[in-house]
Amino acid sequence: MIPEEFKDMRPFEPEELPAAYDSLLADPMFRAVVGMVMPQIPAEALGPMMHGCKTILEFQYTFIRPLMEGVIKKCTAGLTQDFAQLELSKEKENYTYISNHRDIVLDSGLLDMVLFTQMGLNTAEIAIGDNLLIYPWIKTLVRLNRSFVVTRKGGIREMLQSSIRLSSYMHYVIGEKKAPVWIAQREGRSKDSTDHTQESLLKMFAMGGEGTPAERLIGLNLAPLAISYEYDPCDWLKALEFQLKRDNPDHKKSQEDDLANMKTGIFGYKGRVHYQAAECMNDFIAALPADMPKNDFYATIAAEIDRRIYSNYLLYPGNFVAVDLLQGGNTYADRYTAEERAAFEQYINGQLQKIQLPNKDEDYLRTKMLEMYANPALNQMSVVKG
């Protein structure tokens, strides 16, 4: 029996599915969205198809899997993975995948495709911020897609209670349900692709579970995961946001901006996409001195997660072209051809043309976009010798 305290944040249970389906089917916006992204489903067939799904996995297989397969086919040059560093099986799949964060929807969506369709394992429970649940139907839909809600609004006391509940739920999923979890290494995407694990996230992990902080973290089976997109279709939107914030420090994205980022991220072209799992953190954490100061303890673990993510990036020619363009040289010309360099420069120019601003600072925007592609390579070179 799932504890009552998790009821409003967790994925739906099988007996709750019919009411969730009915609430979605009664929402005109939901039906319109389904009509746009899944036009092959007749409107009159949607309800019977949904009610035919008796579990979340059946719902994902019927609705989410075809959508993701279409995205992979039309919007990528292929999805590959390597999870050999983990001991993965039907009996041992309860890892907490903590990854760099590139795309609002697809980071977790493509992970599920890797786990489910490529490896024959269960889909992960997905941590999603409530700031993205801007309509009631979106909250219902994500909970049908095995997501649990992370509260990001409220006072200090409310946020503390929410963090304790979130941590306790993650420990419950890993320890009791024996299911996998995905969570980003930081709140929000890394706009410049310099990925750093938030120490506050690790402290939140240690609020739940039992034992010492080390034992609590070990209980989550943390597995760093490096996600590598050849192209980020939201790169121009991120660059635009950089200039807006530079020109007005008080600028904040609107709900419409979040929706635009979601749509662009899902349906924009991403080129090659690779998921590389690093070794589980348990042995590293267990080997840390028991008397280590708390701040050093969390900083050391965060730095090691970063190192494992950096070293497991799959880098593409554009990453090295970006470094050379930023540095004004040809240091990494052996990592790409002249044709690949020309194609990447043409790509950047095309993305820049999408940015419409009255005071458009093209040099600044170009630099910001190049940094997004250069930073994964620079970070990997900082931790990998040779």
Tokens (6 digits) for 356: 């419409």
Phi, psi of 130 (to 5 degrees): -70, -10
The class (CATH top level) of 4-233+268-311 is alpha beta
Tell me how far apart the alpha carbons of residues 147 and 129 are, in angstroms, rounded to a whole number.
10
How do the domains of the chain map onto residue ranges?
A: 4-233+268-311, 234-267+315-386
CA 124: distance to chain centroid?
12
Q: Tokens 């009509």 correspond to what residue? A: 35
Answer for the pair 142, 128: CB distance below 8 angstroms, yes or no: yes
Buried b (16+ CB within 10 A) or exposed e, 60-90: beebbbeebeebbeebbeebebebeebebee
Give, as one character, the DSSP assignment of residue 115.
Answer: I
Please give the pLDDT value at position 155. 86
Which residues of the chain form beta strands (DSSP E)?
79-82, 96-99, 125-129, 147-150, 181-184, 222-229, 273-277
CB neighbour list of residue 16: distance below 8 Å, 6 or more residues apart: none
- The per-residue pLDDT string of the chain (386 residues; one tens digit each, 9 = 90 and over) reads 789 999 999 999 999 999 999 999 999 999 999 999 899 999 999 999 999 999 999 999 999 999 999 999 999 999 999 999 999 998 999 999 999 999 989 999 999 999 999 999 999 999 999 888 888 999 999 999 999 999 888 888 889 999 999 999 999 999 999 999 999 998 877 888 899 999 999 999 999 999 999 999 999 999 999 999 999 999 999 999 999 999 999 998 887 888 888 899 999 999 999 999 999 999 999 999 999 999 999 999 999 999 999 999 999 999 999 999 999 999 999 999 999 999 999 999 999 999 999 999 999 999 999 999 999 999 999 998 75
Give, as one character, the DSSP assignment of residue 61.
Answer: I
Bridge partners for 126 per DSSP: 147, 182
Q: Count of CB atoms within 10 A of residue 293's CB?
A: 10
Please give the pLDDT value at position 384. 86
Q: Tokens 């006072």 correspond to what residue? A: 155
Query: If you write DSSP's letter for every residue of 233-284 in order, what string do you get?
Result: TTHHHHHHHHHHHHH-TT----HHHHHHHHHHHHHS----EEEEEPPPSHHH
Distances (CA, A) of 131 to 83, 122, 254, 304, 359: 31, 27, 10, 29, 29
Please give the pLDDT value at position 98. 98
Tell me how far apart the alpha carbons of residues 122 and 179 are, in angstroms, rounded to a whole number.
8
Please give the pLDDT value at position 368. 97
Please give the pLDDT value at position 236. 97
Tell me how far apart the alpha carbons of residues 152 and 168 are, in angstroms, rounded to a whole number.
16
Please give the pLDDT value at position 385. 72
Tell me how far apart the alpha carbons of residues 121 and 83 are, in angstroms, rounded to a whole number.
12
